[in-house]
Amino acid sequence: MPNQSAALLGAAVRQHPTLSRQGLLERLFCWWFSGMVYNQIWEDPRVDLEALEIGPEHDVLSIASGGCNVCHYLLAGARSVTAVDLNAHHVHLSRLKLEAARRLPGHEAFFRFFGLGGHPDNPRAYREHIEPALPPETARYWSTRPNPLAGPRIAMFRDNLYDRSRTGRFLGLLRALCRLAGRDPARILKAATLEEQREAYRRELEPLFESLPVRLLSRCSPALFSLGVPPQQLRALDGECPGGLLDEYRRRVERLACAFPVADNPFAWQAFSRRYDTARRKALPDYLRPERFSELQEQAPRARVFHDSLQARLERTPARSLDRYALLDAQDWMTPEALRRLWTQIARTARPGARVVFRTGAWDSPLEAALPPSLSRRFRHERERSRELGAKERCAIYGAVHLYVMEG
C-alpha cells in the first residue's frame, strides 16, 4: 500500500526539480498526504447533486475522498458509482463506509460509526458485521497497528474518527490557538439566527486574524498541507488574491461562519467543533439521516472504490460509458499537459450530455488556458450556473465551482 500510494501521489504532484523550493514543497506534501488526510469530504454534496442532475440511467465517476460524496450519489439514484483515490487511507475508509451501510443492523449502528464518529460498541460491530465482507487488503488495513504503540486502526471508531486525520488534527490545533486567546469558535454553533452567527464570529474568530500565530500560519505552506492544499493550489490562490492570502482566509472563514444557518451546515460543525450536531441531529450530511438509511443500504452495492488515479481509471474505461464526473479539486494539482490528457479521456468515455463538476482553490477554471480548441469546444462551461452553485457551497473553502456539459 505505501509504495503504490507514493507512486500515485508522486506522479500527480511532483512537477519541479527535487532541490528547488517548489520541488521540496511538493515532496513534503507527498509525504504529508500519505496519511489519512480527510475523514469526511469538504465539497458540498448538495451542490454536486444540483450540478450533476443524477438520474437512474447515469453512471458516475468520482474521487472517493472520505466517501460521503459516494453515498450521496447513490442516494440520488445513480445506476453505478466508480470512485478512485490516490490515497489508500481514503480508499479503505470509503469501502468501510459502504459495507457498514450494507451490513450493520440499523441506522443507529451506522450513526455510531459515522455520525458520532466513536462508540465503545463499534469495534465489536465491525468484527461481527463488516470485516467478513471487506476485500482482504481493506480488512488487513483496519486490523493493522499503524505503529507498535497504537491499537488497530479500527480503534479510531471507538475513540473519535473526526480527531484522527491530518485535517482533524489541524483543526484541533486551530481550536487550541483559539482557546489560548480566550476564544471559542464552537459558540458560533449556538446561534439561532444569521445575525447571531455574525456577532459570534466577530467576537470569537475575527480578532484572531490579527494575532501573530495565525499570521505566521497563513504564511506557512506546510501547515496548510494538513487541509489537503497542495503547493500548486496555494500558488494559484496567491496569484489571484490582491489582498494577500491571510485576507482571503479571513473572507472564507467568515463565509463559513456567517453565510449559511449553522443549524443546517455540517461543515461548520466539523470546522468549529470537530463533530456533527449529534444532540439535535439536524446539521448532518444527508446520508446520515435516519430516513435515508434503508435507501443507502439498498443502493450501496452499486458503488466500487479503487486505489487508482483518475487518468489510469479512465484509460481502462470503455468509450461512451459514463454520464457524470465529480473531480473535486484534483485539477488544481495538474499541469496543462495532465489536464489535456485527462479531458481527452473524459471526452472519449463520456456519453452525449455528460456533466462534469469540479472546484478550484482560486476562481478561474484551469481549462481555458490548458485545453486546445479542438477539445475545449466539445464541452460547454456553464458559467452563470457555476456562479449560482458556488454561492450555495456551504463549506465555503473553495474559490469557485465549475460545471461543464458535453456538447452533443
Q: What is the pLDDT of residues 202-237, one digit of tens each?
A: 999 999 999 988 888 877 666 666 666 666 676 777
Is residue 59 a part of any domain in this protein? yes
Whether 291 and 394 map to the same domain: the answer is yes
- Choose one of 273, 301, 319: the last residue of a domain: 273
Shared domain for 298 and 363, answered yes or no, is yes
Q: How far apart are CA 254 and CA 80, in angstroms?
A: 37
My answer on whether 299 and 266 are in the same domain is: no
Looking at the predicted structure, is the pLDDT value of residue 170 above 60? yes
Element holding 112 (H helix, E strand): helix 107-114
88 within domain boundaries: yes
Q: Tell which residue, 265, 268, 228, 251, has the closest CA to residue 359.
A: 228
Residues 356 and 378 in one domain: yes
Assess whether 58 and 155 both reside in one domain.
yes
| Amino acid in the structure at residue 322 | L
**pLDDT tens-digit profile of 246-267?**
888 899 999 999 999 999 999 9
* CATH number assigned to the domain comprising residue 309: 3.40.50.150
From CA 110, how far away is CA 115, in angstroms rounded? 8
Cα torsion 306, 32, 172, 41 to 10°: value is -30
Same-domain status, 334 and 372: yes
Determine the Cα–Cα distance for residues 231 and 338; give it in Å rounded to an integer.
16
Of 396, 393, 400, the C-alpha closest to 46 is: 393
Q: Is the domain of 57 the same as that of 197?
A: no
User: Which residues are CB-contacts of 266 (< 8 A; sequence separation ≥ 6)?
Assistant: 276, 277, 283, 284, 285, 394
Q: Are residues 292 and 349 in the same domain?
A: yes
> With left for phi above 0 and alpha for psi between -120 and 50, is residue 322 left, alpha or beta?
beta
CA distance 299 to 71: 9
Tally the domains of the chain: 3
pTM of the model: 0.92
Domain residues for 348? 45-115+119-159+285-406
Q: For residue 363, is it within any domain?
A: yes
Which grid coordinates are listed for 169? Answer: 488534527
pLDDT of amino acid 221 = 66
pLDDT at 2: 56
What residues pair up with 83 in beta bridges, in sequence order? 62, 305
Percent of the chain with pLDDT over 90: 74
Mean pLDDT calculated for residue range 319-339 = 94
Q: Has residue 14 got a pLDDT over 80?
A: no
Any domain includes 347: yes
Specify whether the CB–CB gap between 358 and 328 falls below 8 A.
yes
DSSP 317-373: SPTT-EEEEE-TTGGGG--HHHHHHHHHHHHHHEEEEEEEEEEESSSS-THHHHS-H
315 lies in the same domain as 394: yes
Residues 222 and 318 in one domain: no
Residue 169, pLDDT > 80, answer: yes
67 and 170 housed in the same domain: no
- pLDDT at res. 149: 85
d(CA 246, CA 390): 21
Residue 280 lies in a domain: no
94 shares a domain with 29: no
| pLDDT tens column, 180-208 | 999 999 999 999 999 999 999 999 999 99
Phi, psi of 392 (to 5 degrees): -95, -5
